[in-house]
């Protein structure tokens, strides 16, 4: 598939027209492939693209493939989802089920539920496709989340990649929207319960809540419009936005190049790795099929969303253990953790703090995470481009902030399964809720301090290794009777990884040209001190030389 | 250190000779396994046969007398000699045979320990003894009787039963009967392995935290439909594959994160591993 120099120069030679030439080229040249490549290139000039794109280099590290996983699961979702649209009816018209699943025969349900059951029981391969679609959706958002953590903890969001972080974050939110609209489509009991909670949350917004709810549902909940509307969002608007943003996200990756970890020969101006063609394309293509295979395997053996067990939606029943899919869990958990009685009445209006507070807290959390690259950039005042990924330990405060954020999210997420935690670990549900309320507040602080201490300790260990080598395990007895353990020096390649990282110092407050210190500079100085007060300086060349002499 | 090793090496021919002999070293293991399987199987058979509905006339004086003895020896400490109840246990006057058969037949009574609620376990009494106890309690004061066997067959309307279950039971027991949490450490148990008679009796008598669903509220026919729905659901093959405990999205999410994403991350590590 590679474009050889001969084929790229072919157009120039082809100017002198000769009937036998093409046939000769076919016979003597690279055969059919070469001829086809030539044919395409003469008409599209594609060799330029292939040459440019094919020589793109991607560095090799397992964590750099996480974004690929989410891309591939999205492709699986698109393929399986297209299949499902052939048979799904997004209508809330009432019908009587008369399909193959006997325990539901004769029951009134919406056309949406009926068609989802038909996909599961009467369309060949339908159930497998449904399960592939749903499992791939769970994987898509999970892989996206882990990919985001990789970006955060390695500082891959720093200049010039801040905008791509925002694009990626928007994709994460859109993916959650995709997931939730899909969860609500089959109109089974579980999805209806989920929609009821969303409707309730919307109603809880002061002043405009009830208006928005009636607008969304086209009248009183559940109405007859919501499935159709969610369907439009689910298969048209949201996927279009996701595809567009994924495209943009990838263009950014190509234009800005991929980050790499520090190592000998790796600088801020180069990328060391494999070219897309042929190595990386083959690897990535193979990886796509591995991801597809894992999803199909799971979908074959494990049930997901058994709507036939849940039955059709009816506003009166609510099942115990009604939960959203995992990615909405943090929001459900936030609702569950609100203390009892958080509401007040003012001028005949009830203000439901039990809904307003979670919405506000989650909104703040999301906005802070999204804006983090800009906040950190402002605090460090670093305007340089960064193409070398940080090892998490080398930015202790950032890693600690990340750990605190992950803990906060994880506690909310776990709180969504408080009832199952209570039944499966034989605890009282009140006890579970109260301990989670405490963990939600205290947990992030503990995670912050523990993560920061671990980072600093690891940095100290790195410094020790770079200067004095590693413990070889060889005990030597000196003539005087003293025992020592011999330290072997680390080799140059290893040392490179240990010593090369950015070192920031706390900002010194200095008056500006007008002889004044503006207030925002004071805030910046405080934040900078918080960030860089505790730091381990990288080993300098002099130190290495000094150490090697004794 | 060297000698024992050499000695063992000398032994080797002898050991291999023994291995080729008539009795394989695995024979003992196999024998023990067979023995255990036989004992276990016999035990299962025995308990299963004792679990079958023993035909006992609840009004027979012998059964009542026998039940009274059992009651005085095993239950009176908490429930009182005249069923009047004590600080440790409620009065049983008027609870009826159905209640006794449920509580004792599922092993909830005698209570294993003082817990938020009595938990089901291996029954302490045989079915005959349970029925004798029921006969005695029912003889003291009238109450709900044992369910008529015609309502315990799985011949009801499963579709209607499932709908009734969703409306009346699913908020505590979960839509698939997998159980759910209640307040203060109490819980609604899993119903997938509960016998039809015990489900019927539970609806009729409302044990522990469960409300009573009397025959006016949910008719015997409705009860049979619900039992049919639950049991057909439990007996149906799982069309979508393993159900992960019927626990819904939490189990699915956990599975995906641990096994799905776990497997894929293992693949990424493998793909980027470099030969040493």
Task: Compute the distance between CA of residue A131 and CA of residue A121 in angstroms, rounded to an integer.
Answer: 13
Angle in degrees, 0-180, between the axes of helices A19-28 and A31-44, rounded to the nearest 10: 130
* pLDDT of A19 above 70: no
- The whole-number pLDDT of residue A24 equals 55
Does A302 sit within 8 Å of B244, measured CB to CB? yes
Question: When comparing pLDDT for B48 and A186, which is higher?
Answer: A186
The position carrying tokens 């549900």 is A429
Dihedral (CA of A33, A39, A42, A48) sign: negative
The model carries a pTM of: 0.85
| Interface A-B: count of C-beta contacts within 8 A | 195
Task: Compute the distance between CA of residue A237 and CA of residue A178 in angstroms, rounded to an integer.
Answer: 10
Give the domain extent around A120: 62-325
Average pLDDT over residues A381-405: 93
Q: Are residues A225 and A117 in the same domain?
A: yes
Q: Name the domain boundary from A325, A353, A387.
A: A325
* pLDDT of A252 above 70: yes
Instruction: Report which of A195, A198, A177 is spatially closest to residue A186, judged by C-alpha positions.
Output: A195
Backbone angles phi, psi at A221, to 5 degrees: -60, 140
Instruction: Give me the percent of chain A exceeding a pLDDT of 70.
Output: 94
Listed by start position, the domains of chain B span 58-146, 147-238
Q: What is the pLDDT of residues B169-192, one digit of tens each?
A: 999 999 989 999 998 889 999 998
What lies within 8 Å, CB to CB, of B217 at 6+ separation is none
* pLDDT of B5 above 50: no
CA distances from A133 to A126, A143, A292, B165, B262 (A): 10, 15, 11, 30, 19
Task: Compute the distance between CA of residue A421 and CA of residue A419 in angstroms, rounded to an integer.
Answer: 5
- The whole-number pLDDT of residue A265 equals 83
CA dihedral angle for residue A259, residue A262, residue A267, residue A273, rounded to 10 degrees = -60
Instruction: Report which of B121, B146, B116 is spatially closest to residue B131, judged by C-alpha positions.
Output: B146
- The whole-number pLDDT of residue B6 equals 45
Instruction: Report which of B134, B132, B133 is spatially closest to residue B146, judged by C-alpha positions.
Output: B134
Q: Are residues A237 and A106 in the same domain?
A: yes
Task: Compute the distance between CA of residue B109 and CA of residue B101 in angstroms, rounded to an integer.
Answer: 10
Would you say how long chain A is, in residues? 550
Residue A330 lies in a domain: no
Q: How confident is the model at residue A4 (pLDDT cuts 50, 70, 90)?
A: very low
The β-bridge partners of A346 are A349
Task: Compute the distance between CA of residue A227 and CA of residue A113 in angstroms, rounded to an integer.
Answer: 10
CA distances from A191 to A276, A323, B1 (A): 43, 9, 71
Tokens of A550: 């004794």
- The whole-number pLDDT of residue B9 equals 44
- The whole-number pLDDT of residue A355 equals 92
* pLDDT of B47 above 60: no
Task: Compute the distance between CA of residue B249 and CA of residue B263 in angstroms, rounded to an integer.
Answer: 20
Residue A23 lies in a domain: yes
Does A103 sit within 8 Å of B158, measured CB to CB? yes
Question: When comparing pLDDT for B227 and B47, which is higher?
Answer: B227
Q: Are residues A92 and A161 in the same domain?
A: yes
Residue A159 lies in a domain: yes
> Which site among A101, A280, A301, A303 would you substitute to test the B interface, given the most B Cβ atoms closer than 10 Å to its Cβ?
A303
- The whole-number pLDDT of residue B35 equals 85
Does A316 sit within 8 Å of B256, measured CB to CB? no
What lies within 8 Å, CB to CB, of A385 at 6+ separation is A159, A160, A268
Does A329 contact B at CB distance below 8 Å?
A: yes
| B147-238: CATH topology | Cytochrome Bc1 Complex; Chain D, domain 2 (1.10.760)
Task: Compute the distance between CA of residue B227 and CA of residue B123 in angstroms, rounded to an integer.
Answer: 22
Does B249 sit within 8 Å of A294, measured CB to CB? no
A84 neighbors A115 (Cβ within 8 angstroms)? no
Question: When comparing pLDDT for A233 and B112, which is higher?
Answer: A233
Does B267 contact A at CB distance below 8 Å?
A: yes
* pLDDT of A144 above 70: yes
* pLDDT of B250 above 60: yes
Instruction: Report which of A188, A416, A78 is spatially closest to residue B254, judged by C-alpha positions.
Output: A416
Dihedral (CA of A420, A421, A426, A431) sign: negative
Q: What is the pLDDT of residues A321-349, one digit of tens each?
A: 889 999 999 999 999 999 988 888 888 88
Q: Name the domain boundary from A325, A352, A371.
A: A325
Angle formed at CA B86 by CA B84 and CA B90, multiple of 5 degrees: 70
A277 neighbors B127 (Cβ within 8 angstroms)? no
Task: Compute the distance between CA of residue A228 and CA of residue A89 in angstroms, rounded to an integer.
Answer: 9
Q: Name the domain boundary from A271, A291, A325.
A: A325
Q: How confident is the model at residue B1 (pLDDT cuts 50, 70, 90)?
A: very low
Phi-psi region of A218 (alpha: psi -120 to 50; beta: other; left: phi over 0): left
Average pLDDT, chain A: 89
The β-bridge partners of A389 are A261
**Chain A residues within 8 A of B241 when measuring between CB atoms:** 131, 300-303
Does A326 sit within 8 Å of B253, measured CB to CB? yes
Whether cis (ω within 30° of 0) applies to the bond prior to A160 is yes
Q: How confident is the model at residue A18 (pLDDT cuts 50, 70, 90)?
A: low
Decide yes or no: CATH 1.10.760.10 for domain B58-146: yes
CA distances from B184 to A29, A417, A429 (A): 81, 16, 6
Helices (H), B20-126: 26-51, 61-74, 76-79, 96-105
Instruction: Report which of A377, A376, A430 is spatially closest to residue A401, judged by C-alpha positions.
Output: A376
Task: Compute the distance between CA of residue A437 and CA of residue A36 in angstroms, rounded to an integer.
Answer: 65
How many structural domains compose chain A? 3
Q: How confident is the model at residue A7 (pLDDT cuts 50, 70, 90)?
A: very low
Residue A348 lies in a domain: no
Half-sphere exposure of A208 (CA within 13 A, CB side): 4
Q: What is the pLDDT of residues B188-210, one digit of tens each?
A: 999 988 999 999 999 999 998 99
pLDDT-wise least confident of A45-49, A114-118, A148-152, A450-454: A45-49
- Least CB-CB distance to B167: which of A121, A138, A316? A316
Q: What ipTM, to 2 d.p.? A: 0.87
Does B241 sit within 8 Å of A302, measured CB to CB? yes
The position carrying tokens 């796509």 is A288
Q: How confident is the model at residue A288 (pLDDT cuts 50, 70, 90)?
A: very high
Other residues' Cβ atoms within 10 Å of the Cβ of residue B145:
15
The β-bridge partners of A481 are none
pLDDT-wise least confident of A265-274, B35-44, B72-81, B235-244: B35-44
A354 neighbors A364 (Cβ within 8 angstroms)? no
**Chain B residues within 8 A of A66 when measuring between CB atoms:** 265, 268
Q: Are residues A225 and A286 in the same domain?
A: yes
Does A303 sit within 8 Å of B241, measured CB to CB? yes
Average pLDDT over residues A227-231: 95
The β-bridge partners of A483 are A477
Does A52 contact B at CB distance below 8 Å?
A: no
- The whole-number pLDDT of residue B59 equals 81
Average pLDDT, chain B: 85
SS (H, E, C) A482-548: CEEEEEECCCHHHHHHHHCCCCCCCCCCCCCCCCCCCHHHHHHHHHHHHHHCCCCCCCCHHHHHHHH
Q: Residue A157 maps to which CATH number? A: 1.20.810.10
* Topology match between the domains B58-146 and B147-238: yes
Residue A387 lies in a domain: no
Angle formed at CA A186 by CA A184 and CA A188, multiple of 5 degrees: 90
Task: Compute the distance between CA of residue A202 and CA of residue A435 in angstroms, rounded to an integer.
Answer: 28
* pLDDT of A425 above 80: yes
* pLDDT of B12 above 80: no
Helices (H), A316-428: 329-337, 353-380, 396-415, 418-424
The β-bridge partners of A94 are A110
Does B244 sit within 8 Å of A419, measured CB to CB? no
Question: When comparing pLDDT for A437 and A316, which is higher?
Answer: A437
Task: Compute the distance between CA of residue A45 and CA of residue A62 in angstroms, rounded to an integer.
Answer: 35
B246 neighbors B178 (Cβ within 8 angstroms)? yes
- The whole-number pLDDT of residue A171 equals 97
DSSP state letter for A327:
G
The position carrying tokens 């090697």 is A548
DSSP state letter for A257:
-
**Window 54-83 of A, Cβ < 8 Å to B:** 60-66, 69
A429 neighbors A419 (Cβ within 8 angstroms)? yes
DSSP state letter for A279:
I
Dihedral (CA of A242, A248, A249, A251) sign: positive
Task: Compute the distance between CA of residue B159 and CA of residue A464 in angstroms, rounded to an integer.
Answer: 71
Q: How confident is the model at residue A148 (pLDDT cuts 50, 70, 90)?
A: very high
* pLDDT of A497 above 90: no
Q: Is A27 helix (H, G, I), strand (E, B) or coil?
A: helix
- The whole-number pLDDT of residue B49 equals 45
Question: When comparing pLDDT for A273 and A455, which is higher?
Answer: A455
- Least CB-CB distance to B238: which of A104, A121, A303? A303
Q: Are residues A48 and A69 in the same domain?
A: no
Residue A516 lies in a domain: yes
Whether cis (ω within 30° of 0) applies to the bond prior to A222 is yes
- Least CB-CB distance to A104: which of B159, B239, B253? B159
Q: Are residues A25 and A143 in the same domain?
A: no
Q: How confident is the model at residue A30 (pLDDT cuts 50, 70, 90)?
A: low
* pLDDT of B235 above 70: yes
Tokens of B251: 């189990």
- The whole-number pLDDT of residue B272 equals 86
Residue A545 lies in a domain: yes
- The whole-number pLDDT of residue B51 equals 42
* pLDDT of A274 above 90: no
Tokens of B122: 């291996």
- The whole-number pLDDT of residue A49 equals 82
Q: How confident is the model at residue A453 (pLDDT cuts 50, 70, 90)?
A: very high
Backbone angles phi, psi at B30, to 5 degrees: -60, -45
Whether cis (ω within 30° of 0) applies to the bond prior to A387 is no
Task: Compute the distance between CA of residue A68 and CA of residue A164 in angstroms, rounded to an integer.
Answer: 15
Nearest residue of B to residue A313, measured between CA atoms: B166
Q: Are residues A130 and A264 in the same domain?
A: yes
């Amino acid at each position: 598939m590679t474009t050889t120099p001969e084929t790229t120069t072919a157009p120039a030679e082809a100017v002198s027209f000769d009937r036998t030439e093409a046939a000769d080229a076919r016979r003597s040249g690279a055969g059919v492939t070469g001829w086809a490549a030539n044919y395409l290139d003469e008409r599209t000039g594609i060799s330029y693209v292939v040459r440019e794109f094919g020589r793109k280099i991607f560095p090799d590290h397992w964590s750099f493939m996480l974004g690929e996983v989410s891309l591939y699961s999205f492709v699986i979702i698109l393929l399986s989802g297209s299949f499902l649209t052939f048979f799904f009816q997004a209508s809330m018209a009432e019908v009587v089920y008369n399909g193959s699943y006997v325990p539901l025969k004769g029951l009134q349900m919406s056309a949406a539920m009926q068609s989802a059951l038909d996909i599961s029981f009467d369309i060949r391969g339908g159930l497998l496709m449904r399960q592939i679609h749903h499992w791939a959706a769970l994987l898509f958002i999970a892989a996206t989340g882990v990919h985001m953590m990789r970006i955060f903890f390695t500082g891959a969001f720093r200049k010039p990649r801040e905008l791509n972080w925002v694009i990626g974050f928007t994709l994460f939110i859109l993916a959650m929207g995709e997931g939730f609209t899909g969860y609500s489509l089959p109109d089974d009991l579980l999805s209806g319960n989920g929609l009821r909670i969303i409707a309730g949350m919307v109603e809880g917004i002061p002043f405009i809540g009830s208006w928005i709810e009636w607008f969304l549902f086209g009248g009183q909940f559940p109405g007859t419009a919501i499935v159709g509307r969610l369907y439009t969002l689910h298969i048209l608007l949201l996927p279009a936005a996701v595809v567009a943003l994924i495209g943009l996200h990838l263009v950014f990756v190509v234009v800005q190049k991929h980050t790499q970890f520090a190592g000998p020969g790796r600088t801020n101006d180069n990328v060391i790795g494999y070219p897309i063609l042929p190595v990386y394309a083959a690897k990535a293509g193979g990886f796509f099929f591995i991801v597809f295979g894992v999803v199909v395997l799971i979908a074959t053996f494990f049930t997901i969303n058994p709507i036939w067990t849940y039955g059709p939606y009816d506003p009166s029943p609510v099942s115990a253990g009604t939960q959203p899919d995992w990615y909405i869990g943090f929001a459900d958990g936030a609702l569950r953790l609100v203390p009892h009685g958080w509401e007040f009445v003012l001028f005949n209006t009830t203000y439901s703090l039990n809904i307003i507070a979670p919405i506000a807290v989650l909104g703040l959390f999301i906005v802070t995470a999204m804006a983090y690259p800009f906040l950190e950039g402002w605090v460090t005042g670093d305007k340089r481009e960064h193409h070398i990924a940080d090892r998490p330990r080398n930015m202790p405060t950032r890693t600690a902030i990340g750990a605190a954020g992950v803990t906060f999210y994880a506690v909310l997420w776990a709180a969504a399964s408080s009832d199952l935690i209570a039944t499966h670990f034989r605890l009282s549900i009140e006890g579970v809720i109260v301990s989670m309320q405490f963990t939600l507040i205290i947990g992030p602080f503990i995670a912050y301090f523990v993560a920061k201490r671990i980072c600093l300790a690891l940095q100290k260990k790195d410094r020790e290794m770079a200067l004095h080598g590693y413990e070889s395990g060889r005990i030597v007895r000196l003539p005087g009777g003293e025992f020592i353990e011999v330290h072997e020096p680390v080799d140059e390649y290893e040392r490179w990884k240990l010593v090369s990282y950015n070192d920031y110092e706390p900002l010194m407050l200095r008056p500006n040209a007008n002889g004044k210190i503006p207030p925002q500079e004071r805030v910046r100085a405080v934040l900078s001190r918080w960030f860089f007060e505790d730091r381990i300086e990288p080993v300098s060349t002099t130190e290495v030389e000094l150490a090697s002499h004794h | 250190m060297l000698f024992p090793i050499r000695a063992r090496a000398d032994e080797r021919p002898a050991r291999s000779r023994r291995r080729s002999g008539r009795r394989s070293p695995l024979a003992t293991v196999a024998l023990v396994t067979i023995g255990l399987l036989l004992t276990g199987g016999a035990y299962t058979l025995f308990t299963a046969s004792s679990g079958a509905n023993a035909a006992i006339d609840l009004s027979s004086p012998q059964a009542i007398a026998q039940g009274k003895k059992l009651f005085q020896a095993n239950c009176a400490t908490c429930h009182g000699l005249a069923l009047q109840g004590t600080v440790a246990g409620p009065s049983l006057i008027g609870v009826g045979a159905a209640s006794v058969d449920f509580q004792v037949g599922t092993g909830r009574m005698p209570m294993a320990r003082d817990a938020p609620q009595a938990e089901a376990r291996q029954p302490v009494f045989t079915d005959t003894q349970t029925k004798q106890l029921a006969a005695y309690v029912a003889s003291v004061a009238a109450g709900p009787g044992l369910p008529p066997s015609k309502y315990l067959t799985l011949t009801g309307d499963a579709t209607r039963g499932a709908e009734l279950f969703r409306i009346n039971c699913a908020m505590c027991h979960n839509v698939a009967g997998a159980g759910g949490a209640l307040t203060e450490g109490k819980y609604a148990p899993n119903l997938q392995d509960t016998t039809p008679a015990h489900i019927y009796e539970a609806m009729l008598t409302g044990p522990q935290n469960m409300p009573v669903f009397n025959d006016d509220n949910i008719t015997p026919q409705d009860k049979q439909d619900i039992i049919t729905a639950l049991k057909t659901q439990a007996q149906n093959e799982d069309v979508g594959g393993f159900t992960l405990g019927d626990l819904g999205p939490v189990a699915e999410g956990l599975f995906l994160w641990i096994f799905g994403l776990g497997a894929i991350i293992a693949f990424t590590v493998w793909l980027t591993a470099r030969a040493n």
